[in-house]
């Protein structure tokens, strides 16, 4: 694949994945309280970190390896805490968590582990001087693990009115 083609397809892929991982609902979370609010805030911090890196991958921002290091650290820090943020019975109301996540807990936590591992890999690459292409590839793998959990366990985004 030529460099140009790689870049083009990457931008499209990242754009598609992105709407699934950085979006928050139109409803806003004024009503979220306690653990639900905490997990939304934690997810949002990961979303913000992913957005900075995504903008670099898409060429909207200057590429800086240090931003990948930082972003990977943010995700590595938040991701392992995901299971604690989803105690049984914390769905419903303003939460977008699908009840089946508690029925498929092992699968849910295995996606958590994958996300943490992908973030750690990204961190390692960024400290080992990996080039842009390698960082982009690993960033996409990480985005996919966020997306796979959202696809299975988060309600679909509501249509805007």
Question: Which residues in this chain contact ligand HEC in the complex, by CB under 6 A?
Answer: 21-22, 24, 29, 36, 39-40, 43-44, 46-47, 50, 75, 82, 95-97, 108, 111-112, 115, 145-146, 149-150, 153-154
Q: Supply φ then ψ for residue 151, to 5 degrees.
A: -60, -40
Which residues lie closer than 8 Å to 140 by C-beta, 6 or more apart?
10, 13, 14, 17, 57
> Tokens 């979370």 map to which residue?
29
Q: Pick between residue 67 and residue 97 the one whose CB is nearest to ligand HEC.
A: 97
Minimal distance, residue 3 CB to ligand HEC, in Å: 27
How many Cα atoms occupy the beta-carbon half-sphere of 138 within 13 Å?
22
Which of 23, 24, 22 has the alpha carbon at shortest distance from 57?
22
Tell the smallest beta-carbon distance from residue 8 to ligand HEC (Å).
Answer: 24
Cα–Cα distance, 79 to 15 (Å, whole number):
22
Task: Rank residues 10 and 95 by Cβ distance to ligand HEC and give the closer one.
Answer: 95
Task: Please say which residue, 4 or 87, places its beta carbon nearer to ligand HEC.
Answer: 87
Nearer to ligand HEC, 92 or 129 (CB): 92
């Amino acid at each position: 694949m030529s460099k140009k083609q790689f870049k083009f397809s990457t931008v499209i892929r990242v754009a598609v994945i992105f709407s699934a991982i950085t979006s928050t609902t139109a409803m806003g979370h004024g009503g979220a309280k306690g653990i639900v609010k905490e997990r939304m805030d934690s997810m949002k911090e990961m979303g913000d970190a992913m957005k900075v890196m995504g903008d670099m991958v898409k060429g909207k921002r200057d590429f800086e390896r240090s931003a990948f290091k930082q972003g990977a650290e943010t995700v590595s820090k938040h991701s392992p805490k995901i299971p604690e943020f989803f105690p049984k019975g914390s769905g419903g109301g303003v939460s977008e968590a699908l009840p089946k996540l508690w029925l498929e807990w092992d699968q849910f936590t295995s996606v958590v582990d994958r996300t943490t591992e992908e973030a750690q890999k990204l961190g390692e690459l960024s400290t080992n001087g990996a080039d842009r292409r390698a960082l982009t590839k690993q960033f996409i793998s990480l985005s996919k693990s966020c997306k796979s959990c959202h696809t299975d366990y988060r309600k679909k985004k509501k249509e805007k009115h």
